Amino acid sequence: MKLDPTSLRYMSADEFRVLTAIEVGSRNHDIVPETLIAELSRLRGGGINKYISDLIKRKLIASESNSKYVGYKLIYSGYDHLALKTLSRRGSVVSVGNQIGVGKESDIFVIAGEDEQQAVLKLHRLGRQSFRNVKQKRDYFRPNQSPSWMYMSRLSAMKEFAFMKVLHEHGFPVPTPIDQNRHCVVMELIDAFPLRQIDHIAEPGRLYSELMDLIVRLAKHGLIHGDFNEFNILVRENGSPVLIDFPQMVSTSHLNAEFYFNRDVDCIRTFFKRRFAYESVLYPKFALNGDKEFDLDVKAAASGFSRKDQANLDKLMQEQELHRDDEDPSDEEIVYSDSDNESDSDDDQDKAEESGSGSDGDYIIEQDRLGNSIRRKRDV
């Protein structure tokens, strides 16, 4: 999804009040009526109609109707503006540069803070992949209520920031966390390449051992990454790994902890065998009663991401897991690179590896109800 922060410069304080009012009203209304927007924004007179019209033209909100009234709802571009406004006021984000990553559930940009140092802005966008799967099965929502993907995206960002902060404080190789607001996380820009883009390593056994040791070290600190694979591991020029992407991290006390631990291990073993023709008989196995040095999951909860937040996010993650095995891994585009040209070539290479074909005719561009553009494999 395109991020265009240019209009932030020209939006008035009253427009932001209206946008914030729609965000607040969305907590209890799928479609926020104009009367409630006027009440929450505390704007009087007919001016509110103009502000709403301008926000629609900027594609920050959408107009919808039900059987009772015409109302408005916040979409991801509007949520982006609210988060960027807050981050800008804090000095965490003063300029937005190129997009360097596109995933099924996030967009990643290079930004600069008030110190003029480059950093990374990650925008969580849950629902881009999952809406088609979960829209028919949402037992944890009230009848006729749509899932609030923006709320889930905010929880995902809160979780990532909390765990990244705790891991960084305990010396794990992760980016330095800088700030977080709503669905956005600001972190250090790492000078490294994603493992998935690396075709040759002088000593694959050394990196393999470091990654397995990292999985074990996390477990000894009470955590399992849950998505430990070539997409979420960066490799510095000196060969040292950096771990990223923490929304699926779980505690070793989780009911399915052994499954997630073994899956992380298997992902690394499979990738190294396929990419580097390296296979080792040595790999860690999950031990529930192993020596635990710290409970970082408890510390992460104490930092602001509560058990209730985790429970709400787990419900969504469980729905995703039910459909993960049914989905073609090449159904949607995943990119993490330094340029658009590299993104295209690397994505085509991975599709050729996974599915044996990379023809553009096999894919279509579609837009979901959240305003996200998705490149999806054409149904046969």
- Checking if the pLDDT of 318 tops 70, the result is no
**pLDDT digits over 78-117, tens only?**
999 999 999 999 999 999 999 998 877 899 999 999 999 9
The pLDDT, as a whole number, for residue 89 is 94
The pLDDT, as a whole number, for residue 6 is 80
Q: Which tokens is 177 given?
A: 């966390």
Tell the burial category of 302 from Cβ atoms under 10 Å away from its Cβ (0-12, 13-18, 19+): exposed
What would the mean pLDDT of 284-313 be, rounded to a whole number?
A: 66
What would the mean pLDDT of 155-163 be, rounded to a whole number?
A: 93
Higher model confidence: residue 210 or residue 251?
Answer: 210
Q: Which tokens is 275 given?
A: 């990419």
What would the mean pLDDT of 357-373 be, rounded to a whole number?
A: 46
Give the other-Cβ count within 10 Å of 224's Cβ: 26
* 3-state DSSP of the chain: CCCCHHHHHCCCHHHHHHHHHHHHHCCCCCCEEHHHHHHHHCCCCCHHHHHHHHHHHCCCEEEEECCCCEEEEECHHHHHHHHHHHHHHHCCCCEEEEEEEECCCEEEEEEECCCCCEEEEEEECCCCCCHHHHCCCCCCCCCCCCCCHHHHHHHHHHHHHHHHHHHHHCCCCCCCEEEEECCEEEEECCCEEEHHHCCCCCCHHHHHHHHHHHHHHHHHCCEECCCCCCCCEEEECCCCEEECCCCCCEECCCCCHHHHHHHHHHHHHHHHHHHHCCCCCCCCCCCCCCCCCCCHHHHHHHCCCCHHHHHHHHHHHHHHHHHHCCCCCCCECCEECCCHHHHHHHHHHHHHHHHCCCCHHHEEEEECCCCCEEEEECCC
Higher model confidence: residue 352 or residue 36?
Answer: 36
**pLDDT digits over 256-269, tens only?**
999 999 999 999 99
**pLDDT digits over 183-193, tens only?**
999 999 999 99
Cα–Cα distance between 193 and 208 in angstroms, integer? Answer: 16
The pLDDT, as a whole number, for residue 352 is 39
- Pairs from 188-191 (Cβ < 8 Å, separation ≥ 24): 188/119, 188/120, 189/110, 189/118, 189/119, 189/120, 190/120, 190/234, 190/236, 190/242, 190/244, 191/236, 191/237
**Residues with a known catalytic role:** 227
- Checking if the pLDDT of 329 tops 50, the result is no
Q: Percent of the chain scored above 90 by pLDDT?
A: 56
Least confident of 44-53, 173-182, 204-213, 256-265: 44-53
The CA-atom distances, in angstroms, between 171 and each of 54, 168, 235, 291 are: 47, 5, 17, 19
In the block, residue with structure tokens 């991290």: 249
pLDDT band at 335 (very low <50, low <70, confident <90, very high): very low
Pair 254, 248: CB distance under 8 Å: no
- Checking if the pLDDT of 302 tops 60, the result is no
